[in-house]
Amino acid sequence: MHRRPAPARSARPGLAGIRRALRRRRRALAMLALLLAAMALLPSLAPAEARTAPVVVAARDLPTGHELVEGDLRMVDVPAVLLPVRALASDEEAVGRRLAAPLPEGSALTSTQLRDGAVALSADQALLAIPVDTALVRHLTPGSRIDLVVPGTDAATPRTIGATAVEIDETAGERAFPETSGAGAGGSASTVIVVAVEREDAPAIAHATREGWVVAVPVG
């Protein structure tokens, strides 16, 4: 009795084998996708106090009105919960601008602490150097409005002239002129700043400065 020979098996895998291989590959890809998603979520799942963020801080003590350069600033990571409102994450916005207030070493820099350094002058304005009480200088920045009180036509009628701070002495408190009257009257120290005034008012202010009788009062 003769047996019928078994049909030869194809060298190519059957359809069932291909399907099994595809299922295994799909499961591996799905597991890889889940792993990547979990890794992406890990930072947000960390406790709030453990998360950090980059912030710009002062590399040294910086005075009011100082024009910032790269060496004045450095980057640090701080806990996100301690990040000040409007804190800068890059020094690009700060370099070339001036500080509106003193910035101690290590303090975070915010956008509200910056002011543009340049003060535009018109053809009708002149620049003058005047003494200002050192305690007041610390609160002035380029662009600050100041009233200058000088003698009027008679001693009993002082005159008030508006001015704009242009350049603030960054060594305020270190270079003082206690002998100056007016802003430094009563022996209080004064520091020289540069202001812009109307050209027609410049002679009166210059004369009052030479005589030692000029008082600067911040506006606003």
Q: Cα–Cα distance between 66 and 176 in angstroms, integer?
A: 18
pLDDT of residue 148: 93
Q: How many CA atoms lie within 13 A of 120 on its CB side?
A: 1
pLDDT of residue 175: 42
pLDDT of residue 160: 92
Residues of the chain with pLDDT under 70: 1-50, 100-101, 116-121, 155, 169-188, 220
pLDDT of residue 132: 85
pLDDT of residue 201: 92
pLDDT of residue 184: 43
pLDDT of residue 60: 92
Tens of pLDDT, residue by residue over 107-159, are: 888 887 777 655 666 778 888 888 888 888 878 877 888 999 998 877 678 89
The domain made up of 48-115 is a member of CATH 3.90.1210.10: yes
CA distances from 52 to 38, 69, 106 (A): 19, 25, 16
pLDDT of residue 192: 82
Is the Cα dihedral 55, 61, 66, 69 positive or negative?
negative
Q: Residue 153 corresponds to which tokens in the numbers above?
A: 């036509």
pTM above 0.85, yes or no: no
pLDDT of residue 174: 41
